[in-house]
Structure 1
Amino acid sequence: MHYGWRTIIVVLTAVASCCFTIQARADSLSLPPALQQKLQQLQQQDLLEEWINAQLDYVDENPAQRLTLLMHLPQKAWRNYHTYRERLTWFDMLALQGYYQLQTGNILSSISAYENALHFYESYPLPDAQVIEYVLKPLGNNYTRLADYGLALHIHRKTLALAQKMGDRIQVASVLGNMAVCARWQGDSVMAVAYCREAMAQAGKGTAIAGLLLNTYADILTEQQQYDSAAWYCKRALDILQLHKGDEQHVYWYGSALQQMATIALYSKQPARAQAYVQQAIALYQQYYPASRQREKAKLQVLAGNVYLQTGHADAAMACFTQSLSLLLPGWQSHLQQPPAGDRLYGENTIGDALEGGAKSLQALGKKEDALQWFMVSLQAQHILRQEFFYTASKLREIAVTRSRADAAVALAYSLWEATGNRVYANQLLQITELSKAQVLLEERLSRKAGTSLLATGDSVQRKQRQLQQAITYYRHELLASGNNANMQKLLEQTEYQLALLQKEHRETIQQTDALQQQLPVTTLLAAIPQNVVALVFYEGANQHYLIEATTTGIGAIHRVSNQVLLSDSIVQFMQHWFARGPGAMFNAPETFYHHCAFIYQAVFANYTWKKGLRYLLVADGAFNYLPFDALVTADRFSNNYSQWPYLYKQAVISKAYSLQTWYSQQNMVYHQGGLSGFFVGINQQQSRVMLDNRKEYDMLSNEVKGRYFLDSLATYPTFVNEIAKAAVLHVSMHTSAQPEPMLQLYDAPFFLSDLQFTRFNPAIVVLSACGTAEGVLLKGEGVNSLERGFIAAGAGGVLGSLWNVNDNTAVELSALFYKQLARQPDAAMALYAARKEWLLLHNDNAVLQLPYYWATFEYSGHLQPVRLQSAWLWYYVLACVAVVTGVLSATGYVFYKKRKAMSV
């Protein structure tokens, strides 16, 4: 690099003892008199390059204490850069901001600084600037540290293209190694190994980069639980990197290999060996980085704490975890009973790891109440970290970490509640389930609400945002249509990255409105439950399931669900056998189905008493999302008269929600009042799908409910986009697909639910009369990734969807009855309940249709607000009345006119 970076290499060694010492006080902006005089002279001579370098030298002597000076340096300059060398020096200054922010542990500020430096470089490339080494690689690695692997891979691909263009094999190998790390943490071990092998082919044998790549490969094998092979490759990495320890740049790599070897030993149940490697790494960092590399030191302390926990030394473990937090949270005073306050936390995954370790240590020491507080703060830390991610996939991976912590926290809260009966622990248990359930769905919902326009940021920003959104939608369509198109994928990534930067720049403005809604206290959620409603909140843990009963007055009871180990698998098998393959199984073996149904009910609701006159809001979790609760039978007494079976719907009116927070968001929103918009596509323009017979449904609904209806060639993509912006109720009857991405097949083009991300969408209800619209892949902690979930994430107040494919005539009749009841009932859940009862009564003489395969497929998830639609018959009646009145008035006028004319004659 240019001037400042040559200084760093010397300074890091010469004055490491005084660098980067984190203090609680503010950085100093004052300058020594001699330096002030020198800067004045340089300014008078208009020597900008020398003026910047003089201050960079001063910052280099004590970066931690003088970081604020460095960050304010661009604003202090009396003029902008004019010459090439001035621009190069300015670039050095921006890159140093990112470097020193990272060294002091502030990864978010480091990312912002590096992004600023990259933007500066790309606006006017500088051939002599080492942008790969000093901006692109650390920026990509910062995103990796945050676990935002989508953005990290985008930066790495950009770096790789530049390194390949330069013909720099070492840089190519290094970047491929970073891409392997991202793929490993994304769970794509095949790509991780491929990147690693490609990188090794670029790196020379015995080089330091070869040692780093061997260590990366060892990490991949560790993730695959191939501990013996991982240890062998890690030992080779250590042997190579030990030869390069004299080069300070490679010391960190050697320390990483020691850390990896310790991790392998820990997972292999060899704590003594693990502790030895940990201590070597700690000593190495203390020797070479006595006051820097705080994040790496913090990670080592977490690893040491986990080793102590494995050997039963909880006191020593707690000391390690608190030391880790002290390194990451300058000024925090460690107290065993008190975790760090929430306002001290920031987006760093090591903070969550240390808090979880502290909770486990306190629990091992018998301090359960304190341990529960640490668990809850660790979940809060994960929530804060997740806000830094742009890609939904990154958020979903982080939810898996959150769930593992929530399992331990829920079990602890339950044991405290069971032992004391204290309602505080019951509330905390519910809060924990909410912090680990449908969080990504809620964040998508709120961010899309805010993302339709950047509030109070000016027309130019809104225009730029909209252009980027339109481009992303276009590239997604092209990519899905063309398959594996590398160029289109590159364009999509670049545009998404630009949008991420724009949203990050205006994050405070965007999130202001909804920040308080994202973590509502339990008391607020409970108070929002209507008086006549009971919320039944499920939590599916790895080893134990729970059912929480809550009303507006508080939590009434918490039940542990029996048969928890096999129950989730049993539910999946139950649905696949009796529902997913058509009605044949149920029709051929009704008694077997009945007893299986009764078994599921008893496993879930054993000894639960349903209260008359109350309604139920079921917040499902895990495999419970698949269950048609209305169809479960409450007694194990089989009868050949299917209509007399004791179905649960006969005892309770049930609606569903993904979480209480999501339901609160739906319940407390004002929705469009623009009437019904119905779209019916029997066959698309390309005739690429089997024809769907929905003309009868179109005729029935258009004659019953006033609205705007679009059949076949009228149901086009532009029309659909225009209508969803104003519809109060959106009715969809067409071919759909949940994989690889939720999609509706309109007449002229597919509409992907991701298109709703940038569209104004606020209907009170979406009715999906297509088959299997609540089906999909189960996302851990998030529910089923279905069309139903997609519409709720986009902003729908409620969704009527189907759990399996059902007879078209049944779907049409139930839909029509639903709309009929919607005008009479207080909300959509009651309308579905009444429609189902009416349908069963209409078909009481048909025993087969009394089987739940035919009538239990529809479920309603969402708010409990009234929804009013105008009847088409009422409209016809009004028109007829108007016509009659007009006719009478016309006749009266004519008679009056004749009389006047006769009198005049």
Structure 2
Amino acid sequence: MKNLSKIFVCVFWALPFWSSAQGTADELYKELDHVVTKPTLENLQRLASYADNFGSMAKSSDQQLALVIARSNLGYYFEKNGDLSKSVENYEDAYHRFKSNELSDYNIYENAVVPLAAIYIRQGDYLKAEELLIQCASHAKNTANNSLLFNTVLSLSALYNSTSRYERSYLLINETLKMKGIPKGTAAALKNNLATSYFRVGDFEKAKQLLSEIKVITGVELVNTYKSLAFIALKEGQKKMALDYIDKAKTALLNDEGVSAHQWVNLLVEEAELLLELGNILDAKNTLHKALSVLLPSYSNQGLPDETKLFPDRNFLRIFDAYAAATETVTDALRAYDLAFYVANLLQQDYTSQETKIIHQADVKHRTEKCLDLIWKLYSDSKDPIWAERAFTYAEQGKASVLIERTVLNKQQDGKASGLEVLLRNRDRLTDQLLRAQFKNLGDKILKSLISELADVDRQIKMVQSHLPKILRTELDLVALQQKLKTDEAVLQSYFLGAKSNYQFTIDNSGLRMYQLPDTEELSPYILKFVHLFDGPEAINNDVPHFTKTAYELFEVLQIQNGLNKNHLVLIPDGLLNFLPFESLLTEPAKGTSFSKMPFLAVSKKVAYAVNAQQYLTSKSDSKRKSVLGIFPVFSGSPEELSYSEEEAKAVGNAMSAELVMESQATKDNFIKKAKNHDLIHLSTHAGSGNFVVPAFVQFYDDLLYLPELHSLDMNGKTIVLSACETGIGKLQKGEGAISVARGFQYAGASSVLFSLWKVNDQSTASVMSRFYESFRSTASLFASNQEAKLSYLQDKNVPNSKKSPYYWNGFAYYGAIDSYEKPHNTLWWWAASLLFVGFLAIVFGLKRKQH
């Protein structure tokens, strides 16, 4: 629905139904007629209010259809007025009502679904947009509706360009352009999207050729064509030509009577970005002020607006990022970035899926890197700790924020929050069902049904979210963090790995220091070289000197030596460091090939990991005796048999009072059912890190537990021991970390997780786990037992040196609290020593009395 004529068609098309509808439907159409004639905000609100009231009493198909038409028009006009939230609300209602009432005789896809998907793309909700557009394409092909197909391809190609899937974009467009009957304007728009794809991959000649073809087509909008030509000219160093094309784009847009505020703001922002590239700072800032004036009519055009005036619109992100790049002082730049972070947070609150939220963490991380670069210059010159503290706050705010948001929700007891949690878990279950339906090729009917259910749950989630307070970013309490570190006798080292710059923060009770690491081009090969030494047992054993050299070099490069002044070390990895076995690094140069004599970090420090500082700060020690569940599918007689898993089960059973579920009883349903009744869950099985199609999973005797279903489980407060391969490995998402099985359990609420970083050896894992539980029986400390099990294995004289490579004993990382640990025999020794001392004093005093 792109012009008023379509709306008139909708209204007059509905005339035959007026006579059969009740009077309330007549009034609804009359209100709609007022809006079409005079689309003022007052008339819009009046129609919306009438539709709300009418919706509660509408029963017949004709009445429901009247509401669908009204809601579709409301969606169109609210979008024109810049109120995307209300626009989405009305379009979603129209589509849901149309589908749930099985209505027909109305082009819901062109009038509601395609424009709704376009708004999703503007808001950055790419997954939902793609889901809708794929449905549109399927419907268009099934009904031979070429008009709908062309518009859908136009939106899909724009989506693929926005998400850097350029090859997919130009394959789709080239296939569509072979079709006949494409309107001139649509063909021009498709070619412009195709030119964008070529431009983004660096093929300027193909892009310019396509844009030249568009320019000769009469009667089509050339705004996007001129914008594309402007940026190609800039890339080719033709600055004056670039500005000329932007001016032509502005002229073309001003001549368009149907231009929206969104289109005008887009062009102004792109002009400002171009001016920045050209070094015209003052002109760029003035253009950004104009863009703000369009978005915020009350804006005074002086400085930056107050955050209370802002709303979730992605244009603000581009404006504030550009403003930060254009400003002269660090303070003003950080203020602009702060506003961008604020708007990004507002946008995150409107997304319903964690996948969409995770996608946008990449932008947050990129912005954070710019903030850290600005602050580092000030800190390195002044050494003022206030700058290090501010940099640390920026670095932490974007780390695992999607996980932390869910963790906060899991812990809330409020009724509405609990209702939201139930809906989110239901959404995860439906996502898993949809995934399995796709794997099994169950057919379009089932897929459409599941997609429809997901859309309905999304609407419910948004409705509940609208009645809950926004979860705004809270500043980390550094005083409380330092106090906890003092109590835990720990040093915290947190890393930030950016596109170019990398930093490390070291914090203890005495203060906070910031260090700059080598840039990414130099650091990444260092990390990858060490990580790949653990791809199999041979890499380390075949060249021990190379391993020891690499292990000590990386220890120094990562500045770990700055955090060895306490008994315990808390590490917050980032980027590729999520896959690094830190405890295998060497704190000093090592000579010889005897692993038991090497100064591993694991030997000198007990190490705990955290996803961010806030998670560590809120982690709590739990020394109570835990109820244990052990799951051991074993897979006897199959190629996947875990022959040492039974030994592991015996070790768990001997050390702990545990419920052990073996072999064919170790099904997925049994695990889900029994996990509710236990505090500590031990899983000895196979697992996979997943790929771009298949998510990470845990294998049970009868089935796989994929990540979406794992997210739907309630694991609040539980301890999870994942004695399986690669449970900490998964697709690496910027800012959020590895989307692995371990993260899945954390997302489901687990308070502490012990997981693997590579394909661990079955035999050595059983041995390490046996030692782990033997230690845990006496210490009741996961944190201490993790280290003791590793050292016990390393120092065991019965284990040959070739099996003492850290590949065999250091596969597991512990994410959780530094829990207290007091060995019972240590306490007895203390009492015994005390009694002996008292006895000694008694003898001494007795002898003295005899002498007197």
Match of 2:389 in 1: 427
The answer to whether the 8 A contact 1:674-1:727 is kept is yes
Shift of 1:410: 1.0
Aligned-partner residue type, residue 646 of structure 1:
P
Aligned-partner residue type, residue 811 of structure 2:
T
User: Are the structure 2 counterparts of residues 773 and 598 from structure 1 closer, same or farther at C-alpha, using a change threshold of 3 Å?
Assistant: same
Give the Cα–Cα distance (whole angstroms) in 2 for the partners of residues 704 and 79 of structure 1: 62
386-395 or 587-596: bigger deviation: 386-395
Give the Cα–Cα distance (whole angstroms) in 1 for the partners of residues 97 and 594 of structure 2: 76
Match of 1:575 in 2: 531
Q: Matched residues, percent identical? A: 20
User: Are the structure 2 counterparts of residues 631 and 318 from structure 1 closer, same or farther at C-alpha, using a change threshold of 3 Å?
Assistant: same
User: Are the structure 2 counterparts of residues 234 and 865 from structure 1 closer, same or farther at C-alpha, using a change threshold of 3 Å?
Assistant: farther
786-795 or 307-316: bigger deviation: 786-795
User: Are the structure 2 counterparts of residues 488 and 447 from structure 1 closer, same or farther at C-alpha, using a change threshold of 3 Å?
Assistant: farther
Give the Cα–Cα distance (whole angstroms) in 2 for the partners of residues 615 and 347 of structure 1: 42
Q: Structure 2-normalised TM-score?
A: 0.86
Picking from 714, 732, 748, the partner of 2:683 is: 732
Match of 1:505 in 2: 463
The alignment status of 1:764 with 2:718, answered yes or no, reads: yes
Give the Cα–Cα distance (whole angstroms) in 2 for the partners of residues 851 and 135 of structure 1: 61
Picking from 329, 343, 347, the partner of 2:296 is: 329
Aligned-partner residue type, residue 301 of structure 1:
L
The answer to whether the 8 A contact 1:675-1:869 is kept is no
Shift of 1:720: 0.3
User: Are the structure 2 counterparts of residues 455 and 781 from structure 1 closer, same or farther at C-alpha, using a change threshold of 3 Å?
Assistant: closer
Picking from 375, 379, 394, the partner of 2:356 is: 394
The answer to whether the 8 A contact 2:642-2:762 is kept is no
Shift of 1:171: 2.0
Cα RMSD of the aligned pairs, angstroms, is 3.6
Task: Give the secondary structure class of the aligned counterpart of 2:516.
Answer: strand
The alignment status of 1:858 with 2:812, answered yes or no, reads: yes
Match of 1:642 in 2: 595
Match of 1:787 in 2: 741
Task: Give the secondary structure class of the aligned counterpart of 1:110.
Answer: helix
Match of 2:633 in 1: 681
User: Are the structure 2 counterparts of residues 862 and 344 from structure 1 closer, same or farther at C-alpha, using a change threshold of 3 Å?
Assistant: farther
Aligned-partner residue type, residue 701 of structure 1:
V
Match of 1:344 in 2: 309
Shift of 1:91: 3.5
Match of 1:63 in 2: 40
Aligned-partner residue type, residue 537 of structure 1:
S
The answer to whether the 8 A contact 1:819-1:831 is kept is yes
Give the Cα–Cα distance (whole angstroms) in 1 for the partners of residues 657 and 254 of structure 2: 75
Picking from 588, 595, 606, the partner of 1:653 is: 606
Gaps of 5+ in 1: 11-41, 246-250, 872-905
The alignment status of 1:278 with 2:246, answered yes or no, reads: yes
Aligned ranges 1:435-514 → 2 under 5 Å: 435-446=397-408, 455=417, 470-480=429-439, 482=440, 489-508=447-466, 512=469
50-59 or 191-200: bigger deviation: 50-59
Aligned-partner residue type, residue 660 of structure 1:
A
372-381 or 74-83: bigger deviation: 74-83
User: Are the structure 2 counterparts of residues 673 and 173 from structure 1 closer, same or farther at C-alpha, using a change threshold of 3 Å?
Assistant: farther
Give the Cα–Cα distance (whole angstroms) in 2 for the partners of residues 390 and 542 of structure 1: 28
Task: Give the secondary structure class of the aligned counterpart of 2:735.
Answer: coil
Aligned ranges 1:212-361 → 2 under 5 Å: 212-240=189-217, 243-245=218-220, 251=221, 254-289=222-257, 293-336=260-303, 338-341=304-307, 343-361=308-326
Aligned ranges 1:46-57 → 2 under 5 Å: 46=23, 49=26, 52-53=29-30, 56-57=33-34
Match of 1:248 in 2: none
The alignment status of 1:144 with 2:121, answered yes or no, reads: yes
Task: Give the secondary structure class of the aligned counterpart of 2:609.
Answer: strand
Give the Cα–Cα distance (whole angstroms) in 2 for the partners of residues 639 and 92 of structure 1: 80
User: Are the structure 2 counterparts of residues 64 and 682 from structure 1 closer, same or farther at C-alpha, using a change threshold of 3 Å?
Assistant: same
The answer to whether the 8 A contact 2:434-2:451 is kept is no
Give the Cα–Cα distance (whole angstroms) in 1 for the partners of residues 623 and 306 of structure 2: 40
The alignment status of 1:381 with 2:381, answered yes or no, reads: no
Shift of 1:443: 3.7
Task: Give the secondary structure class of the aligned counterpart of 1:539.
Answer: strand
User: Are the structure 2 counterparts of residues 434 and 330 from structure 1 closer, same or farther at C-alpha, using a change threshold of 3 Å?
Assistant: farther
Q: Structure 1-normalised TM-score?
A: 0.82
168-177 or 306-315: bigger deviation: 168-177
Give the Cα–Cα distance (whole angstroms) in 2 for the partners of residues 451 and 193 of structure 1: 49
Picking from 547, 561, 566, the partner of 2:504 is: 547
Shift of 1:830: 2.3
Task: For residues 21-62 of structure 1, give each alpha carbon's deviation from its aligned partner in whole angstroms, at most 9, with x where no partner exists.
Answer: xxxxxxxxxxxxxxxxxxxxx9xx957525742564267435
Match of 1:13 in 2: none
Count of aligned positions: 811
Give the Cα–Cα distance (whole angstroms) in 2 for the partners of residues 83 and 741 of structure 1: 43
Aligned-partner residue type, residue 633 of structure 2:
V
The answer to whether the 8 A contact 1:259-1:281 is kept is yes
Give the Cα–Cα distance (whole angstroms) in 1 for the partners of residues 496 and 480 of structure 2: 17
Shift of 1:308: 1.1
Give the Cα–Cα distance (whole angstroms) in 2 for the partners of residues 72 and 540 of structure 1: 50
The alignment status of 1:530 with 2:503, answered yes or no, reads: no
Give the Cα–Cα distance (whole angstroms) in 2 for the partners of residues 671 and 499 of structure 1: 39
Task: Give the secondary structure class of the aligned counterpart of 2:499.
Answer: coil
The answer to whether the 8 A contact 1:196-1:213 is kept is yes
User: Are the structure 2 counterparts of residues 618 and 61 from structure 1 closer, same or farther at C-alpha, using a change threshold of 3 Å?
Assistant: same
User: Are the structure 2 counterparts of residues 710 and 89 from structure 1 closer, same or farther at C-alpha, using a change threshold of 3 Å?
Assistant: closer
369-378 or 379-388: bigger deviation: 379-388
Shift of 1:160: 2.8
Give the Cα–Cα distance (whole angstroms) in 1 for the partners of residues 625 and 86 of structure 2: 44
User: Are the structure 2 counterparts of residues 89 and 794 from structure 1 closer, same or farther at C-alpha, using a change threshold of 3 Å?
Assistant: closer
Give the Cα–Cα distance (whole angstroms) in 2 for the partners of residues 660 and 404 of structure 1: 20
206-215 or 838-847: bigger deviation: 838-847
Give the Cα–Cα distance (whole angstroms) in 1 for the partners of residues 59 and 33 of structure 2: 19
Give the Cα–Cα distance (whole angstroms) in 2 for the partners of residues 502 and 389 of structure 1: 12
Match of 2:650 in 1: 699
314-323 or 352-361: bigger deviation: 314-323
Give the Cα–Cα distance (whole angstroms) in 1 for the partners of residues 381 and 329 of structure 2: 14
Shift of 1:502: 1.8
The answer to whether the 8 A contact 2:720-2:754 is kept is yes
Shift of 1:312: 1.1
Shift of 1:683: 0.5
Give the Cα–Cα distance (whole angstroms) in 1 for the partners of residues 139 and 572 of structure 2: 50
User: Are the structure 2 counterparts of residues 477 and 50 from structure 1 closer, same or farther at C-alpha, using a change threshold of 3 Å?
Assistant: closer
Match of 1:819 in 2: 773
Task: For residues 655-688 of structure 1, give each alpha carbon's deviation from its aligned partner in whole angstroms, at most 9, with x where no partner exists.
Answer: 11122234445x1699998611110111079x46
Shift of 1:619: 0.6
Aligned-partner residue type, residue 785 of structure 2:
A
User: Are the structure 2 counterparts of residues 238 and 499 from structure 1 closer, same or farther at C-alpha, using a change threshold of 3 Å?
Assistant: farther
Shift of 1:172: 1.4
Task: For residues 671-729 of structure 1, give each alpha carbon's deviation from its aligned partner in whole angstroms, at most 9, with x where no partner exists.
Answer: 998611110111079x4634443111111111110111101112112210112223211
Shift of 1:316: 1.3
Match of 2:552 in 1: 598
Shift of 1:522: 4.6
Shift of 1:637: 4.6
Shift of 1:414: 1.6
Shift of 1:186: 3.3
Task: For residues 143-166 of structure 1, give each alpha carbon's deviation from its aligned partner in whole angstroms, at most 9, with x where no partner exists.
Answer: 111121221122223333443444
Aligned-partner residue type, residue 521 of structure 2:
V
Give the Cα–Cα distance (whole angstroms) in 2 for the partners of residues 659 and 735 of structure 1: 28
Task: Give the secondary structure class of the aligned counterpart of 2:513.
Answer: strand
Shift of 1:852: 2.2
Task: Give the secondary structure class of the aligned counterpart of 2:173.
Answer: helix
170-179 or 432-441: bigger deviation: 432-441
386-395 or 744-753: bigger deviation: 386-395
Picking from 780, 788, 810, the partner of 1:834 is: 788
The answer to whether the 8 A contact 2:427-2:457 is kept is yes
Give the Cα–Cα distance (whole angstroms) in 1 for the partners of residues 445 and 598 of structure 2: 59
Shift of 1:183: 2.8
Shift of 1:470: 4.8
Task: Give the secondary structure class of the aligned counterpart of 2:504.
Answer: strand
